[in-house]
Every structure is written in C-alpha cells, then in structure tokens.
A and B are shown apart, each in its own frame.
Chain A
C-alpha cells in the first residue's frame, strides 16, 4: 500500500512536468516567431530602402527613425525638448480622458437609472454621436485658443460618448433579481445605485475606458495638428511640413509607447477593481 501511494503521485508529477515543459516550449516558439516577424518586417524595410526599392523620402527608413529618436532625446526637437512635447500631449489626453469619462459615467448612470431622462435625451445623444467629432476640433481652437484647453475639450468629446454608451448599457443590464433583492433588503434609490447598479456596470465602464484612452490621445493629437504651440501632434505636423518622414514615424513610435503604458496601467486598475470576478486571473 505504501508503495502505491508513493508511486502514484510521482507518476502524476512526471506527467504534469512534461505538460508544463510542453507549454514553456510552445511559449518560447511563439516568442521566437514574433521576433522573426519583427526582424523580417523591419529588416525588409531597411533593405528595401538600401536596395533602392523603397523611396526613403516618402516612407522613411528604420535606421533613420532610430537616429531621429536619438537626435530628439539628445538635442531636442525643432519645437523644443522631446519630453516637453510628450508631457504636453499626455497632459491634454489625460485631462480630457478624466473629464470625459467622469462625465460619461455620470450621464450614463443618470440616464440609465431614470427612464424619463433617457427618453428625453437619448435622441440628442444619438444625433450628437453621429457628428464626426474631430470636426469640432476647429471650433474648439477658434473658441478656446491654441493652448491646452482646446485639445482637452476635443479629447473630452472623443471620450464622452464611448464611456457614456457603455455606462448606460451597463446600468440597463444590471440583473433584475439583484435589484429586486436589494429593494426588499431595504435599499433606497441612492443605495441601490451605489451598491448594485454601479458595481454591475463597472465591468462595462472599465472596458470602455480601455478604448477611450486611445480616443483621448487621438483628440489631443488632432487638436495639436489643427493648431498648437507644442505637443506631439505639432511635432508630427512640423515633420510633415518639412517632408521628414522619419520624424513622423519617430513621433508615431513615441505615441504608441505612451498608449501602451496607459493601457497597462488601466489593466492593472481593472484587475484591482474586479477581484470579485471569477475570470480576472485569466485576463492577462
């Protein structure tokens, strides 16, 4: 009997180990293939330029982009130090994101909880949502000037509708049983909103926040395109004006890094807020 109890776990362990090894090997393979794709694309681009197949005047050149980035970090850009431009854009996008999502969540919950409000305002929100919002950027520049305010306003508009729609839907999807239960347990309307509606809408709202930080960045950058004194958008516009494709690509890479960092932070916040969900550990 002692023998079987000893050998059985060993055999099981052995099998688990090979399964783990197989998984690790698979992960290594995926990583290697990903790198290969990257090297192939960037290398192909670089070689294409060197062999004269791709015109670097229009499409840039990887080595040129890297040189540009180093030049920017060491000597600053044509419109001032690089970090300053990054900071300005993060500030505008971040402020727009915070204001827009706060407004979106508040309005979404208010309209989701109140049938009359939603009946009255839903038509206007639909209409407003169908306007191409980027066009509003021109109006904001005229009204609010070349400073940060006009970019923040554009970012707010970009973010608001996404967050609003999700918050509204999240409130509407709140489980009817949970609401009935809370009412019978004695919850007032306000307690209901806080204890039942908000938590159940939270996963919807958080999902929209992921998307909407990207929109906030687009709002800030387009705003800077249209008229600004500093920021990544202006940097791109300047590079475009001097036919500097490498500059455009370099700015694009910087913005992509900012967006990825923001996404990472949001995912961390989401996992912290939704620990009660059974599947949070699966979400990477």
Chain B
C-alpha cells in the first residue's frame, strides 16, 4: 500500500496519541497508526468500542495534536482547524438557540460570507436536505432525524473536501438511519469529498464505504483494510440482503470479532 504514490486527501503516518490519566499513568490511544484516504474516497472505520476511533477524527480535524508521527491533509501537515474539513458529530452539535436557518448559515457567516449570500445558500441547502418549511424552527422542535439533517446541511454548506463523521447516525432509530444513510450517499456523490466515517455498525460501514478499515483494540492500529467492490449507486434498503454484501460482511466480521473478544479479555 505504501508503494502507491497517488495523492491523498488524508494521511496518518505512524501516528501516536497518548493521554495522561488523572492518576499519572500514560494511556495510549493510538500507536503506529497508518491510514490514507484518497480524494473523493469514502472510507469507513470500524473497531471495538473505546479503541480510539474518535481520537483519530480529532487529530485530523486539528482539535488535538499527535504525540508522534504525522497527520497530513492533501500532503501538508495539520497545524490547526482546517477550513477544508467538515465534521458531523455523534451527539447533537447544532446550536439550540438558533433556528434551522441560523444553524445552517453559521459556517459561511463565521467564514466571512456576506449575510444575504449566506442566507441564500443556506435556504438552498435546507431544501436539499428536505427541511423546507422548517427554516424558523428551533432544534428542540425537530425530531432526531431532522436535527441530523440540519447538521448535514450545516457541514456540507462549507463544501468540505474532507468530511469526518463520528458515528453520526448511531442515535437514530433503524428506519431513520436508513433514510439518512441514503441521503448521505446522495450528498456525497455531489460533493465528491473524501469521507472518514467512524461507526460501530459493520453493516453501515459496508453499505456506505469504498473501503473499510478494521482497528485493533487500544492502542489502536489499522488491523486490515477491506475494499468494498459493490457497485454504486447503492440501494441502502435492499443491498444488505445481497449475497455479495453478506460475503463481505462475513469476512470483515470475523476480523472484527477477534478484536472485540481481545478488547473484552483486556478489560
């Protein structure tokens, strides 16, 4: 893999991230971590709970610094929050005191776009995520799925070239999750950004991604990377019953189970 000299949107080389616990011990979240995502590629990451998946995203987003190794975006090292990066959080991170319109136009306004232009773009994005008519609703008046749509519009409006997603749909019910996955694939097909999608749901990873990386237990390394050669566009609702899907799922799941068992034994 390292022989391929193709350009990468995101690359982590030999990255280490350690924490000092309150008792003074050093806890290693990532060690010798290597991962590379091509521009426009959809990469999913699965691994045992608490293995350091979210830590990885924080490093790429520039919210934290690695203690060793190098994190690069389009071959330049990450030194802080980068404007080319978008982030969809696991929990609700929309601003509760702003209405839908205010939330969606927050990014452009922060980045200095004039108000009327930001508002026009935001209204366009609100329509694209299917929230027309809810422009002046506050988040607490929306369902969980609708709040996720707000979060997606809020992120996509900034045209991120790298999109980081931290178990974004894990809090949704199954039907809503399926809809949101479909929606995400459509948005991604148009935006053509590189995606790093962290999830604990292997089916979700296979349904969405071009490649799925399996992480080891803490300290996390990439255990294996699986290419998902299922054709696009994918139908989220029916694909999971496809034989090829099942074959891939079985293969990766064996890989993953090993790590989950090791994680359990370690605790």
Listed in ascending order, the chain A residues whose CB lies under 8 Å from chain B are 175, 177-178, 180-188, 191, 195-196, 199-200, 202, 275-278
B85–A178 CB distance below 8 A: no
Give the contacting residue for B95; candidates A183, A191, A195; CB below 8 A. Answer: A195
Q: Is the CB of A185 within 8 A of B61?
A: no
B87 on the A face (CB < 8 A): yes
A21–B63 CA distance with the chains assembled, in angstroms: 57
Band of interface residues on B: 20 to 34
A186–B87 CB distance below 8 A: no
B106 touching A180, Cβ below 8 Å: no
* Docked complex Cα distance between A277 and B138 (Å): 9
How long is the Cα–Cα vector from A175 to B89 in the complex, in angstroms?
Answer: 13
Contacts of B39 in A (CB 8 A): none
Cβ–Cβ contact A181 & B87, under 8 A = yes
Instruction: Determine the chain B residues whose CB is within 8 A of the CB of A181 once the complex forms.
Output: 87, 89, 93-94, 154
Q: Which residues of B contact A276 (CB under 8 A)?
A: 96-99, 138, 140
- A185 and B63 within 8 A (CB): no
Given A180-B87, A180-B93: A186 and B98 interface contact (C-beta under 8 Å): no
The residue on A at minimum CB distance from B85 is: A184
Whether B111 and A180, one on each chain, are in contact in the complex, defined by CB atoms closer than 8 angstroms, is: no
CB of B83 within 8 Å of the partner chain:
yes
Check B97–A180 contact: CB distance below 8 A.
no
Contacts of A184 in B (CB 8 A): 61, 63, 81, 85-87
Q: Which residues of A contact B91 (CB under 8 A)?
A: 177
B106, A182: Cβ atoms closer than 8 Å: yes
List 21 interface pairs A-B (beta carbons < 8 Å), by A numbering.
A180-B63, A181-B89, A184-B81, A185-B110, A185-B155, A186-B81, A186-B83, A186-B110, A186-B158, A187-B106, A187-B110, A191-B110, A195-B95, A195-B110, A196-B95, A199-B95, A200-B97, A202-B97, A275-B138, A276-B98, A276-B99
Q: Which residues of A contact B155 (CB under 8 A)?
A: 185
Q: How far is the CA of A216 from the CA of B174 in the complex (A)?
A: 55
Complex Cα distance A137/B92, Å? Answer: 48
Interface centre among B63, B110, B111 (most CB of A within 10 A): B110
What residues of A have a CB within 8 angstroms of the CB of B87 in the complex? 180-181, 184
B83 touches A278 (CB 8 A): no
Q: Return the chain A residue nearest B112 by Cβ.
A: A186
Q: Is B144's CB within 8 Å of the partner chain A?
A: no
List residues of B (110-169) whose CB comes within 8 Å of A's CBs: 110-111, 138, 140-141, 154-155, 158
| Closest beta carbon of chain A to B69's beta carbon, Å | 22
Q: Is the CB of A182 within 8 A of B110?
A: yes
With A180-B61, A278-B141 given, name 16 new contacts (CB 8 A).
A175-B93, A177-B91, A177-B92, A178-B93, A180-B87, A182-B110, A183-B63, A183-B81, A184-B81, A185-B111, A186-B110, A186-B158, A196-B95, A276-B138, A276-B140, A278-B140
Contact yes or no, B81 A178, CB < 8 A: no
Q: Are A177 and B110 in contact (CB under 8 A)?
A: no
Residues of B within 8 A of A191 (CB): 110
Q: Are A186 and B138 in contact (CB under 8 A)?
A: no
In the assembled complex, the CB of B97 is this many whole angstroms from the nearest CB of chain A, namely: 4
Q: Is the CB of B96 within 8 A of A185?
A: no
A195 to chain B, nearest CB (A): 7
**In the complex, which residue of chain A has the Cβ closest to the Cβ of B113?**
A186
Residues on B with C-beta less than 8 A from A175 are: 93
State the CA gap A275–B136 with chains docked (Å).
Answer: 12
Residue of A with least CB distance to B90: A177
Tell me if B68 is interfacial: C-beta within 8 Å of chain A.
no
Contact between A185 and B158 (Cβ–Cβ < 8 Å)? Answer: yes
- Whether the Cβ atoms of A185 and B140 lie closer than 8 Å is no
Smallest CB gap from B86: residue in A = A184
Q: Are A186 and B111 in contact (CB under 8 A)?
A: yes
Q: Does B107 contact A (CB under 8 A)?
A: yes
B170 to chain A minimum Cβ distance, whole angstroms, is 14
Bound complex: CA of A178 vs CA of B98, how far in Å?
Answer: 12
**In this complex, what residue of A is CB-closest to B98?**
A276
B111 CB contacts on chain A under 8 angstroms: 185-186
Q: A54 vs B81: C-alpha distance in the bound complex, in angstroms?
A: 74
Contact of A195 among B96, B106, B154 (CB under 8 A): B106
Per-residue CB proximity of B195-220 to A under 8 Å, as 1/0?
A: 00000000000000000000000000
User: For residue A182, which residues in chain B have a CB less than 8 angstroms away from its CB?
Assistant: 95, 106, 110
> In angstroms, how far is the closest chain A Cβ from the Cβ of B96?
6
* Given A276-B96, A276-B140, residue A185 in contact with residue B154 (CB < 8 A): yes
Cα-based distance from A33 to B85 in the complex (angstroms): 63
B45 to chain A, nearest CB (A): 18
User: Which residues of A lie under 8 Å from residue B63 when comparing CB positions?
Assistant: 180, 183-184
